[in-house]
């Protein structure tokens, strides 16, 4: 049933040439229920409403400039999508977005002006390959959820000024090389910075507390004041050599560090607890982890670490509640410390593996092959403990099998 109750609206529905199911208006506020606009006359009519409510879409190839400069308050969900002609969107008087403002799949969009915005609940800019100019008020005070994905933006300008954000996902903006959030202190849901410019630099030095943090494909990352991650921390596919989060004391859920080819040094020197799993893999140059976890006392999930690790120590360890798997491809790795923790019952999970490479020289031709020294126990399928020996070679001079602990306790 179509329903509208106002004289101000006469003419509006005819200009909006697609389905406006319910439209109401009071003096200066218009409310739309699932309204789609695809002609510029419809835009002009929208622009006669200082406040917009409801659900409004603008799409199609008959519009180039969207001028909504008379609108002051956006309570509606306004989505502008699927157009190869829209190139400029002007919303210069909007101060407050309590709904959603979304731009999606607009191949010719170059410019959005949001120069009065102070408070934006939900802003999305997605698949806008030519979108390079976002003119924002540089006093944006507050933001809820912000997504910037696959745009041509080269900086964050006003979007990096907040001291608190709820959710921000900035990914695949290949021209964006500086992601500096110099005032950001608190991320109450998630901050995801992934696969932007391949020389992207991230500065989160004011950040103190984050729920979830994901950093991918950056060349430089610092978060010197970060003390607490309440959810998960994921660091992957980056090209820096040092990861220093030496102020971080606790991670509520998981810690994952993987897929790095340049990383040689990792400092989680103040980290005392990880509430979920702790996982390190595919970090091809990371071998010395002697001082990485100086203060780590407790891991509530599983520990799973693999790589060419020569040394790793957890001198403060009190308890690992989950499984423990440490596979080193280095022959220099010594499992002694962890075997001892396991023997003492400090590693509680059913599956315990600590393995390292053993190089066995064959004296006749000088070639080498790799064996594995290992300590492994499982109790899930009955008591089992084994030294793992792969590829036995006849006449090998040395085969070292890692010492087995723990089976007597099970
Ligand atoms: C709109 O009109 C209603 C009554 O019709 C009034 O109560 C309200 O204050 C008006 N709003 C504004 C912003 O003028
Ligand atoms: C945009 O166009 C594509 C392809 O025509 C379609 O699948 C998609 O649903 C459209 N998006 C929206 C929001 O309608
Ligand atoms: C993007 O919009 C165009 C129309 O401009 C449409 O043809 C295309 O299918 C859309 N692509 C997606 C992924 O929705
Ligand atoms: C925006 O609107 C919301 C809801 O009405 C209000 O709580 C908030 O204070 C407003 N923000 C600004 C900057 O006016
Ligand atoms: C984005 O980067 C590409 C090459 O990396 C460059 O050709 C293009 O001009 C840049 N666009 C903007 C808006 O800076
Ligand atoms: C950050 O925000 C969360 C959620 O609102 C809050 O629980 C936490 O105490 C805040 N942390 C700081 C350091 O302000
Ligand atoms: C880091 O925290 C200290 C102490 O709270 C503060 O003085 C300093 O300004 C913070 N650094 C940044 C970059 O905000
Ligand atoms: C912190 O994490 C815990 C456990 O995951 C959750 O219950 C709590 O709500 C989180 N706190 C905030 C402020 O997000
Ligand atoms: C963010 O972390 C909180 C705990 O602080 C968790 O409950 C929530 O599911 C996480 N969100 C995402 C998207 O990972
Ligand atoms: C990490 O940063 C802290 C504080 O700046 C510093 O003391 C420490 O030596 C750094 N760790 C590494 C491995 O560089
Ligand atoms: C880790 O490395 C292996 C072997 O190179 C590869 O197959 C796998 O995809 C990598 N995993 C990730 C998450 O990069
Ligand atoms: C360690 O090696 C064992 C045996 O080859 C394998 O089952 C396990 O998945 C490996 N764990 C890690 C973390 O690489």
pLDDT at 58 over 90: yes
Q: Which two tokens stand for residue 2?
A: 């179509």
Helices assigned H by DSSP within 23-147: 40-46
Q: How far is the CA of 89 from the centre of ligand 3 (A)?
A: 19
Strands 265-267, 324-328: pairing is unpaired
Among 208, 228, 234, 213, CA closest to 168 = 213
Q: For 205-260, what is each residue's pLDDT tens digit?
A: 999 999 999 999 999 999 999 999 999 999 999 999 999 999 999 999 999 999 99
User: In this predicted structure, what is the pLDDT of residue 25?
Assistant: 59
User: In this predicted structure, what is the pLDDT of residue 161?
Assistant: 84
Q: Which atom of ligand 3 is nearest to the CA of 82?
A: 2
How sure is the predictor about 24, in pLDDT bands with cuts at 50, 70 and 90? low
Mean pLDDT across 119-147: 90
Cβ of 180 below 6 Å from ligand 7? no
Half-sphere exposure of 47 (CA within 13 A, CB side): 17
Q: Which atom of ligand 11 is nearest to the CA of 281?
A: 1
Q: How far is the CA of 188 from the centre of ligand 6 (A)?
A: 6
Beta-strand ranges (E) seen in 107-260 are 111-114, 119-128, 133-136, 142-151, 164-171, 178-180, 186-194, 201-203, 209-216, 220-222, 228-229, 233-236, 242-244, 250-251, 255-260
Q: How far is the CA of 53 from the centre of ligand 1 (A)?
A: 15
pLDDT at 19 over 70: no
Cβ of 211 below 6 Å from ligand 9? yes
Q: Cβ(205)–Cβ(228) under 8 Å?
A: no
Q: How far is the CA of 206 from the centre of ligand 7 (A)?
A: 6
Among 213, 249, 216, 207, CA closest to 231 = 213
The preferred substitution site among 225, 246, 248, 249 for testing ligand 7, maximizing ligand atoms within 8 Å of CB, is: 225
Give phi and psi for 402, each to the nearest 5.
-60, 155
Cβ of 390 below 6 Å from ligand 4? no
Q: Which atom of ligand 4 is nearest to the CA of 118?
A: 13
Neighbours of 283 (CB within 10 A): 26
Q: Cβ(267)–Cβ(243) under 8 Å?
A: yes
Comparing 82-86, 368-372, 392-396, which segment has the lowest mean pLDDT?
Answer: 392-396
Q: Which residue has the tokens 């109790």?
A: 379
Q: How far is the CA of 55 from the centre of ligand 1 (A)?
A: 22
């Amino acid at each position: 049933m179509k329903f509208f109750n106002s004289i101000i609206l006469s003419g509006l529905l005819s200009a909006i040439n697609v389905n406006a199911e319910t439209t109401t208006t009071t003096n200066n506020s218009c409310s739309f229920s699932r309204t789609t606009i695809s002609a510029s006359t419809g835009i002009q009519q929208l622009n006669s409403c200082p406040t917009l409510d409801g659900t409004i879409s603008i799409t199609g190839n008959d519009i180039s400039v969207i001028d909504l400069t008379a609108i002051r308050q956006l309570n509606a969900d306004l989505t502008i999508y699927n157009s190869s002609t829209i190139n400029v969107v002007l919303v210069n008087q909007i101060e407050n977005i309590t709904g959603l403002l979304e731009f999606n799949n607009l191949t010719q969009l170059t410019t959005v002006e949001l120069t009065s915005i102070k408070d934006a609940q939900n802003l999305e800019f997605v698949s806008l390959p030519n979108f390079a100019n976002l003119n924002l008020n540089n006093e944006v005070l507050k933001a809820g959820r912000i997504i910037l994905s696959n745009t041509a933006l080269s900086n964050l300008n006003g979007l990096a000024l907040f001291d608190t954000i709820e959710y921000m996902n900035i990914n695949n903006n290949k021209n964006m090389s500086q992601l500096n959030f110099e005032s950001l202190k608190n991320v109450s849901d998630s901050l995801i910075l992934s696969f932007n410019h391949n020389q992207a630099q991230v500065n989160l030095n004011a950040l103190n507390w984050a729920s979830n943090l994901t950093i991918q494909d950056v060349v430089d990352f610092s978060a010197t004041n970060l003390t607490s991650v309440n959810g998960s921390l994921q660091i992957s596919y980056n090209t820096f050599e040092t990861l220093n989060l030496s102020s971080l004391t606790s991670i509520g859920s998981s810690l994952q560090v993987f897929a790095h080819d340049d990383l040689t040094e990792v400092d989680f020197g103040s980290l005392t607890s990880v509430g979920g799993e702790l996982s390190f893999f595919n970090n091809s140059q990371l071998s010395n982890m002697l001082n990485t976890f100086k203060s780590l006392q407790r891991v509530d999930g599983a520990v799973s670490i693999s790589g060419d690790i020569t040394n790793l120590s957890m001198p403060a360890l009190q308890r690992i509640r989950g499984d423990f798997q440490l596979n080193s491809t280095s022959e220099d790795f010594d499992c002694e410390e962890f075997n001892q923790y396991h023997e003492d019952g400090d590693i509680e999970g059913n599956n315990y593996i600590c393995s390292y490479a053993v190089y066995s020289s064959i004296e006749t031709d000088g070639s080498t092959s790799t064996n594995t020294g290992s300590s492994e126990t499982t109790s899930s399928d009955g008591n089992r403990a084994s030294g793992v020996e792969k590829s036995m070679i006849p006449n090998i001079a040395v085969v070292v099998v890692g010492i087995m602990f723990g089976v007597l306790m099970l």
